Structure 1
Amino acid sequence: MDTLSKKIIHAAQHTDNIAALWLYGSRARQDHHDHSDYDLAVAFSNWEKDPLERRLRPELLALDWHTQLSLPEGTLSIVDLATAPIPLAWNILIEGKLLLDLSPAHRMRQEARIMSRWELDFAYHQRQRA
């Protein structure tokens, strides 16, 4: 694991309301280049009721971590697993790497929700077309 990944995990461990953290995309697949960003997915341990705050939360977290870790802008890209489109969330679970699991029960509920939605909304219809 590279140094920045370790620093990201440390930052996540010291950030309130994070249940789990995944790395996905080119860095998880090991086909990145030196300037590839870090695609991260977070399962927050609480549901943000305000829609605007909920939408901004992963972006504000990315800004905080950029500052905290002294990273150039655009180094981190963070999505909230609870609000990510199901195809993206499915891809994160299937191809991503779980970096941090502070609340296994919460993580498993998120995973079950995504897998169920994938089956109902996508996989079933793909089988019907085949």
Structure 2
Amino acid sequence: MDTLSKKIIHAAQHTDNIAALWLYGSRARQDHHDHSDYDLAVAFSNWEKDPLERRLRPELLALDWHVQLSLPEDTLSIVDLATAPIPLAWSILIEGKLLLDLSPAHRMRQEARIMSRWELDFAYHQRQRA
């Protein structure tokens, strides 16, 4: 694991409301180049009721971590697993790498919700067309 990944995990461990953290995309697949960003998915431990706050929360977290870790702009990209489109969330779970699991019960609920939605909304219909 590279140094920045370790720093990101440390930052996540000291950030309120994070239940789990995944790395996905080129860095998880290990086909990245030197200037590839870090694609991260977060499962927050609480549901933000305000829609605007909920939408902004992963972006504000990315900004906070950029400052905290003294990173160049656009080094981190963060999505909230609870609000990510199901195909993206499914891809994160299948191809991503779980970096931090502070609340296994919360993580498993998120995973079960995504897998169920994937099966109902996407996989079933793909089988019907085949």
TM over 0.5: yes
Superposed CA deviations along residues 70-126 of structure 1, whole A, max 9, x for unmatched, are: 000000000000000000000000000000000000000000000000000000000
Residue 60 of structure 1, CA deviation: 0.0
CA distance in 2, matches of 1:73, 1:101: 26
Superposed CA deviations along residues 3-33 of structure 1, whole A, max 9, x for unmatched, are: 0000000000000000000000000000000
CA distance in 1, matches of 2:97, 2:83: 19
Residue 65 of structure 1, CA deviation: 0.0
Residue 45 of structure 1, CA deviation: 0.0
CA distance in 1, matches of 2:81, 2:30: 22
Mark the runs of 5 or more structure 1 residues left unpaired by the alignment. Answer: none
Aligned length: 130
Equivalent in the alignment of 1:16: 16
Aligned pairs (5 A) from 1:51-70: 51-70=51-70
The 3-state SS of whatever aligns with 1:23 is: strand
CA distance in 2, matches of 1:59, 1:72: 15
Aligned pairs (5 A) from 1:110-125: 110-125=110-125
CA distance in 2, matches of 1:16, 1:4: 20
The 3-state SS of whatever aligns with 1:99 is: strand
The 3-state SS of whatever aligns with 1:40 is: strand
CA distance in 1, matches of 2:16, 2:128: 43
Equivalent in the alignment of 2:88: 88
CA distance in 2, matches of 1:96, 1:127: 24
Residue 48 of structure 1, CA deviation: 0.0
CA distance in 2, matches of 1:34, 1:73: 15
How high is the TM-score relative to the length of structure 2? 1.00
CA distance in 2, matches of 1:87, 1:73: 27
Residue 44 of structure 1, CA deviation: 0.0
Runs of 4 or more consecutive aligned structure 1 residues displaced over 6 Å after TM superposition: none
How high is the TM-score relative to the length of structure 1? 1.00
